[in-house]
Structures are given as structure tokens and as C-alpha cells.
Amino acid sequence: MSQNSKVGNDSGEEIILSVSGLTKHFPGAKTSFFGKHEIVQAVDGVSFDVAAGESLGLVGESGCGKSTTGRLITRLLEPTAGTVVFDGQDISKLNNSELRPIRSDLQMIFQDPYASLNPRHTVGTIVSTPFKINKVVPEGGVKKRVQEILEIVGLNPEHYNRYPHEFSGGQRQRIGIARALALRPKLIVADEPVSALDVSIQAQIINLMKDLQKDFGLTFIFIAHDLAVVRHFAQRVAVMYLGNIVEIADRDTLYSSPKHPYTKALLSAVPEADPDAVGARERIRLTGDVPNPINPPSGCRFRTRCWKAQDICASSAPALLQIGQTQVACHFPE
């Protein structure tokens, strides 16, 4: 992984975000009254690069550490180890006041549109807070700018004085997007932005985000558990399992020829729209549950559920290696 270089991708694009060895351990319950805290290894040595203007999908089951990764990148959490190089600067160890100037370039869209908007603030207040906190006065005043943003995300600018409870889930998520967009960030981390919405609304929000990405040249990290949604939105996809990235590839490469057994299993579980094709495809059923991140399996973390597991999988953890178009962490890739 390129660590401090701004140009490192094989296609020569500018790397806006470079994550390497990112680790977050949370203190869990105490083992006994006088004992130590158990350690929850939520994210354990995650590395990837994101090029400017691209959208990287981050997929995985619940509890695999994808949301934690998102919060580490936006520095809502402090990493236990590893570096996050954003726009040429390592932000992983900055304190709150040092982070402040960077915050406006690095925004987040949250999962729950009902919890992410302060119920006591009007839409106008919510979307203008970024300007006030960063003491930015746009041309024509904050109110005019906020109303422009509301219009961009598909809301009525006259809704400025309304409260969040007067909006539907989809509209609320548009308000959240407007807030993230207010200061024209370079990178937006979208943490399952549509998983709380109706399926019919999901497409609208995804299309809105796609349009915004095109119009403003935004870079997205799109966290989701729905592979179909990621396929629609992301150009590149990283698959996470139990705090590790197991596979990163271009969307088409990943969906057409998955290299990691876990990716293969995930893809086989995506519902097929064409009923004739269902029989043609082999459905891989994983047995057992995701292991406890307090005490993950030795070696490859997926080995306990993998049908290809051998002795080597238990003794050594596979590194993320380039195979063709794909980076994959497996001793026996497809």
C-alpha cells in the first residue's frame, strides 16, 4: 500500500485517502471484578486507497467493522493503530482542535435519518450549523446558500423553517445529505445511507448521491450490507469480514469473478431477478455464525466457516495480495 504518496494508483489517479493498518480495539466487559477488560477487535489492520472522484463500496455482514472503519476515517473515533492519510496529511493522531480545519472536507451521512437530525432544530438550523461552526459566510448569506443546497438535494427551499418530524424518512435523509454537502467536502463517508429507507425510496436517494458525485466531483466511501445497492453505486468494492478486508476489486471484476470464498458466498445469496437463472446458480450456504470479535479465530478469520480451509489457514493469516485485477486475502483464491 502506498502510504504517503499522493499518486499511487496504477491508473495514475490522485489518491485522496490512504488507509493503512487501521485498527480499532474497544474495551469490552471485564473478565472478573479485578480482571482486565476484554478487547473487542472491531477493526484489525485494514488498508486501502481511495482515488479522488471514485466511490468505494464497503460491504460485509453486521458487526464486521464497516461502520467503525467509516467512523475512524471521519475521526469520530480514534484509531488504536494505523494511519489515515487524507489529502496528504495523516489525520489518525490529530486531536480535536487540529482536526477542526479538516472536518469540513470530510463529511458523513448517517444510517438512521430519524436519529441523525436534532428534533429541536429546524431544517434551516441543521443545514446552516456547518457554516456557523466553521465561521464560513458564503456569498449572499447563509440562508440563501442553505436554500440553494436544499434545492440541490431535491427539497423545497421553503421548508427552511420546518422541523425534522414533519418529513418522511427519504426527505430526512435528503436533509442529512444537504448537511454533509454544505461545506463542499472532498470526501463523504456514507454509512448505510439507505438501509433504513423503503426500497422505493432507496433508488431515489442513491440516484441523488450519484448525481451529486458527478456534479461536485465528490469522493464517496459507501458502507452497505446490500450488495445490489453497492453494485448500483460503487465503482470499486471492498468486502470486509470480522475486522479485515478480504477482497477489493473493481465492481465488474468482483461481481463477475469473485476470488475470495466469502465474497462468493455473499454473491450467491443475492436474490436473482430472473427466475430462469436461479437454478443455474449454485447457492452457497455458510454454516455457523460470525465468530466473536473478542476472540477471533487464528490465522484466516474466515476459516471456521470456509469449505476450503486447510491447516495453513489456521496457522497463518493470508495477506491482501494482488491477483489479476483483484486484491484478495486468501490462501486458496478462486
Partner 1 sequence: MIGAPIQGRSPARMAWDRIKKDRTAKISAITVAFIFLLALASPIFTWILHTTPDQFHPETLDPSFGTNPVGKLGGISAQHWFGVEPRTGRDVFLRFAYGARTSLSIALSATALATLIGVLVGLVSGFFGKTVDLVLTRTMEIILAFPSILFALAVTPVLENLLESWGVPTGNATRIPVMIVVLSMFGWPYIARIVRGQVISLREKEFVEAARSIGASRTHLVFKEILPNLWAPILVTVALNIPTMITSEAALTFLGAGVIDPTSDWGAMLLASVPFYSVDPMYTFIPGFGLFILVLAFNLLGDSVRDALDPRSSR
Select from 5, 27, 36, 76 the one that contacts partner 1 (CB under 8 A): 76
Select from 107, 213, 219, 304 the one that contacts partner 1 (CB under 8 A): 107
122 lies in the binding site for partner 1 (CB under 8 A): yes
* Other Cβ atoms closer than 10 A to 36: 10
Instruction: Determine the Cα angle at 214 with ends 210 and 220, to 5°.
Output: 60
133 lies in the binding site for partner 1 (CB under 8 A): yes
172 lies in the binding site for partner 1 (CB under 8 A): no
Q: Are 254 and 263 in contact (CB under 8 A)?
A: yes
Lay out the site mask for partner 1 across 8-37 (x = CB under 8 A, - = otherwise). ------------------------------
134 lies in the binding site for partner 1 (CB under 8 A): yes
Q: Are 79 and 22 in contact (CB under 8 A)?
A: yes
d(CA 157, CA 110): 22
* Other Cβ atoms closer than 10 A to 289: 10
Instruction: Number of residues interacting with partner 1: please give it, by CB under 8 A.
Output: 36
163 lies in the binding site for partner 1 (CB under 8 A): yes
117 lies in the binding site for partner 1 (CB under 8 A): yes
We find the least distance from the C-beta atom of residue 46 to partner 1, in angstroms, to be 20
137 lies in the binding site for partner 1 (CB under 8 A): no
d(CA 290, CA 241): 9
Identity of the residue, 137 or 270, whose beta carbon is nearer to partner 1 in the bound complex: 137
Grid coordinates representing 179? 448537511
Select from 2, 156, 315, 316 the one that contacts partner 1 (CB under 8 A): 156
Residue corresponding to grid cell 446458480? 281
Choose the binding region for partner 1 from 5-13, 70-78, 220-228, 251-259 (rule: CB under 8 A).
70-78
Residue corresponding to grid cell 436534532? 118
* Other Cβ atoms closer than 10 A to 299: 17
176 lies in the binding site for partner 1 (CB under 8 A): yes
DSSP letter at 185 equals -
Choose the binding region for partner 1 from 27-35, 113-121, 139-147, 301-309 (rule: CB under 8 A).
113-121
Select from 25, 66, 174, 179 the one that contacts partner 1 (CB under 8 A): 179
One-letter identity of residue 207: N
DSSP letter at 292 equals P
DSSP letter at 54 equals -
Select from 36, 37, 100, 214 the one that contacts partner 1 (CB under 8 A): 100
Q: Are 234 and 56 in contact (CB under 8 A)?
A: yes
Task: Kindly list the residues in this chain that would bind partner 1 in the complex (CB under 8 A).
Answer: 71, 74, 76, 99-100, 103-104, 106-108, 110-112, 115-122, 129-130, 133-134, 156, 158-159, 161-163, 165-166, 176, 179, 183
